[in-house]
């Protein structure tokens, strides 16, 4: 007995295509990121700059709200990957050199 599986609607297919496209624009899952302890050790040892120093050096608005922070290896260079919310409500992802 043959059954026909329901076909996804066009809106579901479009949403899936959009999600897959957006996933390709973000960080690679294979990208190695440091945990909190490793970040603290890297700052303490002078391997990377502190978040405050990187933000100040990069001219990020001091009134911006920091949403999340990661330090990741980007092709052999450590970078801060920072989610910020600007005072005017704009969300941005910044990738700034940590060294």
What pLDDT, in 10s, does the model give residues 28-85? Answer: 445 699 999 999 999 999 999 999 999 999 999 888 999 999 999 999 999 999 999 9
- Do 85 and 53 form a contact (C-beta atoms < 8 A)? no
- The three-state secondary structure class of 23 is helix
What is the dihedral angle through the alpha carbons of 8, 14, 18, 21, rounded to the nearest 10 degrees? 80
What's the pLDDT score for residue 28?
Answer: 44
DSSP state of 88: T
For Cα atoms 27, 94, 36, give the angle at the middle one, nearest 5 degrees. 70
Q: What is the pTM of this model?
A: 0.66
Instruction: Give me the pLDDT at residue 76, please.
Output: 92
How far is 93 from 76, CA to CA, in rounded Å?
Answer: 20
Q: Is residue 13's pLDDT more than 50?
A: no
- Cβ pair 67, 91 in contact under 8 A: yes
Q: How confident is the model at residue 86 (pLDDT cuts 50, 70, 90)?
A: confident
Measured over the CA atoms of residue 18, residue 23, residue 24 and residue 25, the dihedral's sign is positive
Segment 10-27 shows an average pLDDT of 38
């Amino acid at each position: 007995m043959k059954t026909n599986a329901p076909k996804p609607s066009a809106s579901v297919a479009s949403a899936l295509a959009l999600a897959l496209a957006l996933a390709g624009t973000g960080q690679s899952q294979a990208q190695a990121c440091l945990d909190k302890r490793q970040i603290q050790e890297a700052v303490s040892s002078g391997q990377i700059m502190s978040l405050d120093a990187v933000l100040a050096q990069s001219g990020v608005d001091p009134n911006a709200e920091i949403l999340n922070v990661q330090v990741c290896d980007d092709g052999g260079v450590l970078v801060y990957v920072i989610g910020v919310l600007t005072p005017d409500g704009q969300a941005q992802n910044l990738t700034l050199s940590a060294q």
